[in-house]
Amino acid sequence: MDVEAETLAPVAEAPQSPLFSGARAEAPANALIAEARRRRASHIHLEIGPGATVVRMRIAGQLTEPRHYHADAALAAGFRDAAGASLLVHEGGERIVLRLDGGERRERALEAIGMRREQVDALLPALRRGGLVLVAGPAGSGRSTSIATLLRHFAGSPRHIATIDTLPVEGATRIEGLAGAAAIRATLEQDPDVIALDVLEGREAAGAAAEAAEAGHLVIAGIDAPDSVSAIRQMRDWRVEPFRLASNVAAVLAQRLVRRLCPDCRRPVQAQGSVSALLGFDSGAIVFAPVGCESCEGTGFAGMTGVFEAIVADGAIRRLINDGGDEAILARHAFLRAPNLGSAARALVREGMTTPDEAVRISRG
């Protein structure tokens, strides 16, 4: 039986049962907060009376229908003590509103570094499960920033995060002085929910990461590879068993950085013929060029943004990995409905976020 369905049974369905039972009884507030975060709620409202508790969540700006539960002292105590809780005592009982540090702000952090909304939506379920999440890119691609941003998704949650050496994250256990497989195995002794490391180096470390994912941990690891399909090939080259890799890979990201055009002074121009051909644009397509102004100190650019591709493992991807499917077939399936790095860069050009030259650089690898 699903634990959450059992422990969150409303009064109407189980009139003699407490709000929480079994394995989750010691932390009823955590269970309800976890559900709210999965549903991307911004607030949880509790009306606590002498005999019942009414729970509602604010999702996409709207309060959900009330759910009625038996009064539960542990639940009330958990919410009173939670950061972000506002308590109002009135004649009929208590009203507690918990503002989550929430899902939406953390997800916006992923969008802020350049991930598309659809990529974030596809990736989030992989972050909620155990498994292996690879973040591919060469040095200077922003890979470490992306891993740190992924870890921010767990801020405020009860999940125990452990990082290895180069990834300091507030509230996480940090393993220092070790590298590779030895560091991963030392991290496992701390029994974390999430393990993060900046880069996998070598066969032994790759095998240890796959073993940790197989044991139910979420492992987020950087890998020095030019794209997501190449990252899978690298794991194969390191002789991670095909079945183990196929069973435990949850997602593979790849990224590059491009210069972002200054929104105050960029100007529309017609794409040059050679650039149009390289990017697959129609002749005369309108793109944007840098100019330079006071806002950007004459550079024409305003910082950098990430360009991402993502392979989220489904049944077909797992079968292709397990069967040793070649890279072209793997890429064809993975990017049938999702952008690869080249098409993601071209989209940024069309939107006026970057220049055609930047997209050509990304498309050429």
- For the stretch 189-237, pLDDT in tens is 989 999 999 999 899 999 999 999 999 999 999 999 999 999 999 999 9
How many other C-beta atoms can be found within 10 angstroms of the C-beta atom of residue 49? 13
In three-state secondary structure terms, 21 is: coil
Contact 320, 351 (CB under 8 A): no
């794209």: which residue's tokens?
Answer: 227
How many other C-beta atoms can be found within 10 angstroms of the C-beta atom of residue 26? 11
For residue 64, the Cα-to-chain-centroid distance in whole angstroms is 25
With CA atoms as reference, report the closest residue to 56 among 45, 48, 47, 71.
Answer: 45
Would you call 164 exposed, middle or buried from its count of C-beta atoms within 10 A (0-12, 13-18, 19+)?
Answer: buried
How many other C-beta atoms can be found within 10 angstroms of the C-beta atom of residue 24? 18
Looking at residue 3, its pLDDT comes to 35
Contact 133, 253 (CB under 8 A): yes
pLDDT lower than 70: segments of the chain = 1-27, 60, 71-72, 81-83, 101-107, 155-156, 166-168, 365
Token reading at 185: 């195995």
Residues in the chain: 365
Angstrom distances, CA of residue 168 to CA of 183, 225, 261:
15, 23, 31
Rg of the chain taking only CA atoms, in angstroms? 24
Looking at residue 261, its pLDDT comes to 95
Contact 257, 140 (CB under 8 A): yes
Looking at residue 167, its pLDDT comes to 63
- Amino acid (1-letter code) at residue 317: I
> For the CA atoms of 361, 147, 188, 229, what is the dihedral angle to 10 degrees?
-30
Token reading at 220: 């987020």
Q: For residues 249 and 322, what is the distance between their CA atoms, to the nearest angstrom?
A: 11
Looking at residue 133, its pLDDT comes to 97
**Residues facing residue 86 across a β-bridge:** 97
Contacts of 14 (CB under 8 A, 6+ apart): none
Contact 365, 226 (CB under 8 A): yes
Q: Check: pTM over 0.75? Answer yes or no.
A: no
